[in-house]
């Protein structure tokens, strides 16, 4: 019998200390702690690594501070398109979806692709159909909207119009 291990991330980039308030830092750390706890709860009860990473990522997708699920960024057309993937180390089985909008937890749709189809990566209407067939919850547009992400899109588009978009690596980060 092995011991369990779990690691999570909520994104990276130019997370400037000068822009981080104690309140924001505490909120981010609380969100991270909830995701670690969600994954560890599974492992502590002899659950599988696949169930643990799914639970941890669902917790992060439900947290509007992070760029996935609720809180996802916007495209140039003001839409949200989400991508997700799971991979199982036992046999390299994998499932993924790209460019979807509607399912509350895209990672669960990726897992449904792995478990319910012979394919690895699905896009478009069939990806959403797989989610419906699996009975996964969907949400309306308002659920995914966050003012901070909308403001970030407007700021970026304005900088592009003025030819002022910076080379800040954070702008290229997921």
> What torsion, rounded to 10 degrees, do the Cα atoms 9, 11, 14, 19 define?
-90
Asked if 89 is part of the footprint of another protein (rule: CB under 8 A), the reply reads: yes
11: nearest Cα among 60, 66, 72: 66
Asked if 17 is part of the footprint of another protein (rule: CB under 8 A), the reply reads: yes
Residues 124-143 that bind another protein (CB under 8 A): none
| Burial tier of 61 (Cβ tally within 10 Å: 0-12, 13-18, 19+) | buried
Report angle CA 91, 96, 98 to the nearest 5 degrees.
Answer: 165
Residues 104-123 that bind another protein (CB under 8 A): 105-107, 110-111, 120-121
Q: Which is nearer to another protein, 13 or 133 (CB)?
A: 13
- Considering the complex, what minimum distance in angstroms separates the CB of residue 128 from another protein? 15
- Considering the complex, what minimum distance in angstroms separates the CB of residue 133 from another protein? 19
Residues 54-73 that bind another protein (CB under 8 A): 54, 56-57, 60-61, 66-69, 71-73
- Considering the complex, what minimum distance in angstroms separates the CB of residue 132 from another protein? 19
Token output for 162: 């003025």
Asked if 160 is part of the footprint of another protein (rule: CB under 8 A), the reply reads: yes
Asked if 80 is part of the footprint of another protein (rule: CB under 8 A), the reply reads: yes
Asked if 4 is part of the footprint of another protein (rule: CB under 8 A), the reply reads: yes
Contact (CB, 8 A) for 143 and 104: yes
| Count of chain residues binding another protein (CB under 8 A) | 90
In sign, the C-alpha dihedral spanning 14, 17, 22, 26 is positive
Out of 53, 112, 130, 131, point to the residue binding another protein (CB under 8 A).
Answer: 53
In sign, the C-alpha dihedral spanning 53, 54, 55, 56 is positive
69: nearest Cα among 78, 85, 80: 80
- Considering the complex, what minimum distance in angstroms separates the CB of residue 129 from another protein? 17
- Considering the complex, what minimum distance in angstroms separates the CB of residue 135 from another protein? 19
């Amino acid at each position: 019998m092995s011991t369990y291990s779990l690691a999570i991330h909520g994104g990276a980039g130019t997370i400037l200390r000068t822009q981080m308030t104690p309140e924001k830092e505490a909120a981010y750390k609380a969100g991270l702690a909830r995701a670690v706890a969600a994954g560890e709860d599974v492992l502590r009860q002899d659950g599988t690594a696949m169930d643990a990473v799914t639970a941890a990522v669902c917790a992060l997708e439900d947290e509007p501070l992070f760029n996935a699920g609720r809180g996802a960024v916007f495209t140039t057309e003001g839409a949200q398109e989400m991508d997700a993937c799971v991979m199982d180390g036992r046999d390299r089985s994998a499932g993924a979806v790209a460019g979807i909008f509607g399912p509350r937890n895209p990672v669960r749709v990726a897992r449904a692709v792995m478990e319910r189809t012979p394919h690895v990566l699905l896009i478009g209407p069939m990806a959403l159909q797989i989610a419906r067939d699996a009975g996964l919850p969907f949400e309306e547009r308002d659920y995914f909207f966050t003012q901070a992400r909308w403001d970030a899109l407007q700021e970026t588009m304005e900088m592009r119009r003025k030819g002022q978009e910076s080379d800040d690596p954070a702008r290229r980060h997921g």
